[in-house]
């Protein structure tokens, strides 16, 4: 099943974080470029590129997702590269702002991998540049008894219907697992479904700031992104590279 389609279904309508990314982009000077880590099909990359002549480059390790950005981004100047966020290098490119939305940093396998990512970010940044990492530090309260269940995220593509329904969030030792039911209905009306699980490592903003220090980055404040009906709220850790 196409990961590009599911990325669009489950993330395409999420907009709660866009005002913050716009604010950080608007604070840049001159023509400093922006990088998005784990860009998916380009939700943030394409949005920022469309509102500004500034270069915005996304990186993702999934070729299918990067190709989706290529298809949509060339008219507005967005671009993407097939790279692993734990080990990337874009020769000749330096960025004034690096964004890691949607808890990207919590998908990595432990502190060593996070420090590797942060080191790559440091090396890709201009002196004085900033980075912003969204992470879930705490779960939002359970809905009150009698509250209506969440609605599924739905897309129709060439006669196929794709639906992703949030089921539950399971708290474990050091991680949380987000479960969704993915359902597909083909043009003939036949339905198939699969349970999708996404595991996020749980750690504090302080931990991320400490790990960033090992990569040569320093704390530059924090911001909050509110929860929505289908997405958890985030703490955004801001980091800077020294001038």
Distance CA 101, CA 120 (A): 17
Which CATH architecture best describes the domain 3-138+203-241?
Answer: 3-Layer(aba) Sandwich (3.40)
If one compares 183 and 3, the residue with the highest pLDDT of the two is: 183
Q: For the whole model, what pTM was predicted?
A: 0.92
Cβ proximity of 134 and 235 under 8 Å? yes
Instruction: Tell me the pLDDT tens digit for each residue of 12-35.
Output: 999 999 999 999 999 997 789 999
Q: Where are the domains of the chain?
A: 3-138+203-241, 153-200
If one compares 232 and 207, the residue with the highest pLDDT of the two is: 207
CA geometry: angle 153, 47, 222, nearest 5 deg: 90
Beta 125-135 vs 95-100: how paired, if at all?
parallel
Residue 160: which of 193, 185, 183, 181 has the closest Cα? 185
Instruction: Tell me the pLDDT tens digit for each residue of 1-10.
Output: 588 999 999 9
Which CATH architecture best describes the domain 153-200?
Answer: Single Sheet (2.20)
Instruction: Tell me the pLDDT tens digit for each residue of 78-113.
Output: 899 999 999 998 888 899 999 999 999 999 989 999
The pLDDT mean for the chain works out to 91
Look-up: residue for tokens 């705490």?
A: 138
Residue 160: which of 182, 142, 127, 139 has the closest Cα? 182
pLDDT at 17: 96
Domains 3-138+203-241 and 153-200 share a fold: no
pLDDT above 70: residue 154: yes
Instruction: Tell me the pLDDT tens digit for each residue of 29-61.
Output: 778 999 999 999 999 999 999 988 788 999 999
Residue 199: which of 71, 107, 73 has the closest Cα? 107
Q: How far is CA 124 from CA 56, 88, 131, 135, 239, in A?
A: 13, 9, 10, 21, 13
């Amino acid at each position: 099943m196409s990961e590009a389609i599911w990325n669009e279904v489950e993330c395409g309508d999420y907009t709660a974080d866009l005002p913050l990314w716009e604010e950080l982009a608007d604070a840049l000077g001159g023509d400093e470029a922006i990088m998005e880590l784990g860009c998916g099909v380009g939700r943030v990359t394409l949005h920022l590129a469309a509102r500004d002549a500034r270069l915005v480059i996304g990186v993702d390790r999934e070729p299918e997702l990067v190709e989706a950005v290529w298809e949509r981004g060339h008219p507005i100047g967005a671009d993407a590269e097939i790279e692993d966020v734990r080990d990337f290098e874009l020769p000749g490119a330096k960025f004034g702002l690096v964004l890691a939305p949607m808890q990207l940093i919590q998908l990595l396998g432990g502190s060593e991998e996070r420090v590797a990512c942060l080191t790559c970010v440091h090396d890709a940044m201009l002196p004085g540049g900033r980075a912003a990492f969204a992470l879930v530090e705490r779960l939002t309260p359970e809905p009150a008894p009698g509250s209506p269940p969440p609605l599924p995220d739905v897309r129709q593509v060439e006669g196929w219907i794709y639906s992703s329904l949030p089921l539950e969030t399971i708290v474990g030792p050091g991680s949380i697992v987000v479960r969704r039911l993915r359902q597909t209905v083909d043009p003939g009306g036949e339905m198939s479904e699969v349970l999708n699980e996404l595991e996020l490592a749980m750690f504090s903003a302080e931990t991320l700031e400490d790990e960033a220090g090992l990569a040569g980055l320093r704390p530059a404040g924090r911001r909050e992104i509110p929860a929505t009906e289908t997405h958890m709220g985030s703490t955004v850790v801001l980091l800077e590279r020294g001038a």
